[in-house]
Amino acid sequence: MSNDIIAPDKDLHFVKDTYNPDDWQSETTSVTSSMHRGLMENGRRYQTLRDKGSHVPSDEQMFETYEALHLLASFMDSDKENPLFQSPVVNPKHILDIGTGKGSWAVDVADLFPEATVRGVDLFPPPVTWIPPNCFFEIDDILQSWSWREPFDLIHLRLLDIAFTLEETDHLYKQCYDHLQPGGWIEQLEMSSFIECDDNSVPADNILFTWGPRITMAANKAGRCFEIMGTLQESIERAGFVDIHTKDYRWPIGPWPKDKTLKEVGDINYKHWLIGMEGYGMWLLTHYGDPVPWMKEEVQVYVAQMRRELSKPRIHTYQKARRIWARKSVDHERVKMESSP
């Protein structure tokens, strides 16, 4: 799907006045939370493997969010033979999924490439009920030394906004570079938290436009990299990668587009926002809210107001996303780069 302006379905607002997520069959599967342990805060569970903790929960509601995002990303490239990644990897033997979340991407890739070993790593165990025999999940801090012996053909990262500081991000990309085969690929997909509108269907003073700035300000106060879409290429270049490609998306929020695929994408993304906002915002706003940390109840009221506005079919909102993929240089390319003035 291109980054063109999305045409709205002009008849949608005559059908119903508000979106009701219960009208649509859930595209996600329910998970049990008994297997997860961690710190309970403001009614959400957070992992504690890293000293600095986590800004997003690792509970059932957040896993539903991850599954919605996996479906969303797959639908946006459903016109491709392989919608899971764009890197031109041929006959991969070793694949790593960093920040695997619910594990859906790793499981799907393992199904697609049964001869490959696919590893998903995160700070918490994914709640998967079935795993292909060539798929493995590990709980680990990816910023520590890597113990995998075999170099990877593809390293995949997705939706790691706010997960790291700038220094940690540079260290992570260097780790990825060092553990790829020469000619191997890195691929990452990130989204913006800023809600946008092209046709003035949302008033300029609408609360929807406060979400991105507020979350960004809190993340900056927390010392986390945020809105990294614009810096992805620079960071990947700095690690030594070459042959860099980018693809930009507009993800509609709600089934308002005229295009059938985008309508379905918007349907999924609307649910992603409904179930994901509290998880994205609770830790940041209760620790680093402006001008002072918010109370739990203030965050809940704010999220409820956001949900109410997003439920209006007459508004045509979307968020931007970007996919980037790049290759580790081979020996003769490194020699050429090192000898260049």
Tell me, what's the pLDDT at 48? 66
Decide if 9 is inside a domain: no
Residue 229 carries which DSSP code? Answer: G
C-alpha 317, offset from chain centre: 18
CATH number, domain with residue 149: 3.40.50.150
Decide if 341 is inside a domain: no
Tell me, what's the pLDDT at 181? 97
Tell me, what's the pLDDT at 30? 33
- Which regions in the chain score pLDDT beneath 50? 14-17, 21, 23-36, 335
Phi-psi region of 327 (alpha: psi -120 to 50; beta: other; left: phi over 0): beta
- Three-state SS at 94: strand
Tell me, what's the pLDDT at 224? 84
Q: Are 255 and 270 in contact (CB under 8 A)?
A: yes
Helices and strands (DSSP H and E) totals, the chain: 9, 10
Decide if 18 is inside a domain: no
Calculated CA dihedral for residues 48, 52, 57, 59, nearest 10 degrees: -10
Q: Which two three-digit tokens encode residue 8?
A: 């709205």
Tell me, what's the pLDDT at 19? 53
Decide if 29 is inside a domain: no
Please give the tally of structural domains in the chain: 1
Decide if 1 is inside a domain: no
Domain that holds residue 222: 39-336
Q: How far apart are the first and last CA of the chain?
A: 40
Beta pairing class for 180-191 and 152-158:
parallel
Decide if 21 is inside a domain: no
Between helices 260-288 and 211-221, what is the axis angle to 10°? 40
Decide if 71 is inside a domain: yes
Decide if 156 is inside a domain: yes
Q: Which two three-digit tokens encode residue 48?
A: 């504690």
Residue 168 is inside which H or E element, if any? Answer: helix 166-178
